[in-house]
Amino acid sequence: MNCRKHSWFKYICIAALAFAPLVLTACHRKASADDNTLRIAFAGDNTTLVSLDPFQVYWIEHRVVLRNVVESLTDQNPDTGEIIPWLAKTWQISPDGLQYIFTLRDDVTFSDGEKFNAQAVKIAFDSDEAETVKNPGVFGATYLSGYAHADVIDDQHVRIVLSRPNAAFLQATSTTNLAILAPASYALTAQQRSRGAIVGTGPFILQSYVPAVGLTLIKRKGYAWPSKAVTNPGEAHIDKILVSYVPEQYVRDGAFVQGSIDIVWPRLPFSDTESGLLKSHGATIYSRSLPGPAYNLFPNTSAGRLLADPAVRLALQKSIDRPGYAATIYDAQFPVVESVLDRTTPYFKSEKQNLAYDPHGAAQLLDAAGWKLGQDGYRYKNGRALALEEVAQAQSPGDELLQDQLRKVGIALKITVVVPGTYVSDIIHGNYDLIGSYLTRGDPAVLQSFLDPRFALQAKLALDAYDPADLAEAEQLFDAGLITTDTNKRAAAYGQLQDLLIKEGVAFPIYERIWQVAVAKNVQGFTWTDEGFASFNDIEIKR
């Protein structure tokens, strides 16, 4: 079970307090009274898929930083999901959904002094498309789906032309991945941009980045064009941001208690014991469900696999106690997952009834399908054990609990932890029964990145998740969600899609993806963006 729930955790943290500041001294000395530097500790860096280029970026912690360095044509209201102006003041969409004309602000400059205009937008989108052609698996490719070309009408007007309807494109223009860099940045190689050679229009400038160690942002002088989702209309209140990557939880928490860190930003939510410790030292805990898919397990339904049987998939869906998972791994107030999507995603539809915990119903399904309980408590059919293998890149705090839940109905679950290269190989060769994945994006079209073989980052994973008849229906619903910008029609298509994915066992939601941060009492103005990032130019420090 999750050891973070145990009461002795806080004593380990307290015992580590003397050690923690030593670890963080290089980047995070205890703040002086006149220090106007914000200090953030993330749980870790991604040294396998390192990229600080917005179009290539994958690691969500990198995207948090980038959101304050680079900006996009539009923004998304974090409360309503509505697309609102940013670098573009207004836009027009043609009736066929194939042309978008953006009217741009005329008062924006990049941090190298170059003026933001329609030509800069064209260079950015054309360069991103060229990167997609060279590297079809690049992370931003799905955001640019259908892009044909951009036309400069004049300095303040640019036309984006699509080769096929993509109703998610307007939302895509609000994301970090389609942020606009200065033309000079695109004269560099993709690798150079990945290592931090980027110039944006944002309120901060990326000064330095050392993988697995940390990075530094400095305030942009003269900044004055935030989106309406941001309160501060001008320059950032703080002068500098120091980010460090600290994998050890007790070191992060200890440094916070000692005052060496202003914001603790873990990958997983705090346990009730950990949040209690941080709150006792003045922390405010901010939480937000990340838009996009919840944490789901996807099945391998190919011939010969156990989950090729629809009855086994349905029994598995009924065997997962999601309320128990949320309360046990996190706390009683933690939201229970209710769909393949998190609830902050536009067009989310609650599937609570179809995700109800029903171990008796699961047992009946398995009995009828010929899976009989053995003396060891597990089920067998024709001498074969009902034993599923989940392939993962790390051990999750909830793995043991999920194993316990499935054991109650006679299903064995083995967790196999593999390195990234083996993980991809296992997907390609179908060497798994269940595999977990997620992305963050405020539009349900993001599901195509997992579950539409025509566009998925791992087409084999998407193909293996379906029975053939279910795949044909899913593709029709994916298309229906993209061919119209009518919100009612999109809601209907994505609602039916969520029904299909849950009822047919194409996805097994495990938990709502909640991101949490602990913010020191002298730090004011922390706010979430729609993507679940943060607007640092609203933050003030009261030392």
- CATH number among 2.40.110.10, 1.50.10.10, 3.40.190.10, 3.40.30.10, domain 74-184: 3.40.190.10
In the predicted model, what is the mean pLDDT of residues 368-392? 97
Going by pLDDT thresholds of 50, 70 and 90, the confidence category of residue 34 is low
Q: Per-residue pLDDT tens for 392-419?
A: 988 877 999 999 999 999 999 999 999 8
Same CATH fold assignment for domains 3-43+203-289+515-541 and 74-184: yes
**For residue 16, what pLDDT is reported?**
43
Going by pLDDT thresholds of 50, 70 and 90, the confidence category of residue 326 is very high
Q: Does position 158 have pLDDT exceeding 50, yes or no?
A: yes
**For residue 29, what pLDDT is reported?**
52
Lowest pLDDT segment from 43-52, 79-88, 496-505: 43-52
Q: What are the residues facing 219 on neighbouring strands?
A: 204
In the predicted model, what is the mean pLDDT of residues 220-234? 96
CATH 3.30.930.10 describes domain 295-512: no
Q: Which spans in 110-229 are helix H?
A: 118-134, 169-172, 183-186, 190-194
Helix (H) or strand (E) holding 487: helix 487-503
Helix (H) or strand (E) holding 284: strand 284-289
Describe the strand order of the beta sheet including 295-299 as a list of residue ranges. 412-417, 387-392, 434-437, 295-299, 508-511
What is the token pair recorded at 336?
């229970």
In angstroms, the CA 415 to CA 297 distance is: 12
Q: Select the more confidently predicted residue: 453 or 137.
A: 453
Going by pLDDT thresholds of 50, 70 and 90, the confidence category of residue 22 is very low
Going by pLDDT thresholds of 50, 70 and 90, the confidence category of residue 117 is very high
Read off the DSSP letter of residue 417.
E
Where do the structural domains in the chain lie, given as residue ranges? 3-43+203-289+515-541, 74-184, 295-512
Going by pLDDT thresholds of 50, 70 and 90, the confidence category of residue 138 is confident
Q: What is the percent of the chain where pLDDT is above 70?
A: 94
In the predicted model, what is the mean pLDDT of residues 367-395? 95
Q: What are the residues facing 412 on neighbouring strands?
A: 387
Residue 186: CB atoms within 10 A of its CB come to: 22
**For residue 107, what pLDDT is reported?**
98
Helix (H) or strand (E) holding 362: helix 359-368
Q: What is the percent of the chain where pLDDT is above 90?
A: 83
List C-alpha distances in Å: 142 to 56, 199, 482, 488. Answer: 11, 23, 13, 23
- Global pTM reads 0.89
Question: Cβ distance 141 to 153 under 8 Å?
Answer: no
The whole-chain average pLDDT of the chain stands at 92
Question: Cβ distance 475 to 497 under 8 Å?
Answer: no
In the predicted model, what is the mean pLDDT of residues 320-343? 94
Q: Per-residue pLDDT tens for 478-506?
A: 999 999 989 999 999 999 999 999 999 99
List C-alpha distances in Å: 387 to 121, 246, 348, 390, 408. Answer: 52, 36, 32, 10, 13
Q: Per-residue pLDDT tens for 159-189?
A: 999 999 999 999 999 999 999 999 999 999 9
Q: Does position 281 have pLDDT exceeding 90, yes or no?
A: yes
Going by pLDDT thresholds of 50, 70 and 90, the confidence category of residue 32 is low
Question: Cβ distance 242 to 40 under 8 Å?
Answer: yes
In angstroms, the CA 371 to CA 304 distance is: 16
Q: Does position 18 have pLDDT exceeding 60, yes or no?
A: no
In the predicted model, what is the mean pLDDT of residues 283-311? 96
Q: Per-residue pLDDT tens for 507-532?
A: 999 999 999 999 999 999 999 999 99
Going by pLDDT thresholds of 50, 70 and 90, the confidence category of residue 50 is confident
Beta strands per DSSP E along 20-98: 37-42, 74-76, 83-85, 88-93
Question: Cβ distance 535 to 527 under 8 Å?
Answer: yes
**For residue 31, what pLDDT is reported?**
53
Q: Does position 238 have pLDDT exceeding 90, yes or no?
A: yes
**For residue 8, what pLDDT is reported?**
36
Q: Which spans in 233-358 are helix H?
A: 249-258, 272-279, 310-319, 322-329
Buried b / exposed e along 126-156 (16+ C-beta atoms within 10 A): ebbbebbeeeeebbbbbbbbbbeebeeeeee
Q: Does position 104 have pLDDT exceeding 80, yes or no?
A: yes
Buried b / exposed e along 297-334 (16+ C-beta atoms within 10 A): bbbbbeeebbbbbbbbbbbbbbbbbbeebbebbbbeeb
Q: Does position 7 have pLDDT exceeding 90, yes or no?
A: no
In the predicted model, what is the mean pLDDT of residues 341-361? 97
**For residue 25, what pLDDT is reported?**
46
In angstroms, the CA 423 to CA 146 distance is: 29
Amino acid at 53: D
In angstroms, the CA 241 to CA 470 distance is: 48
Amino acid at 313: R
Q: Does position 1 have pLDDT exceeding 70, yes or no?
A: no
Q: Which CATH topology does 3-43+203-289+515-541 take?
A: D-Maltodextrin-Binding Protein; domain 2 (3.40.190)
**For residue 139, what pLDDT is reported?**
85
Q: Does position 9 have pLDDT exceeding 70, yes or no?
A: no
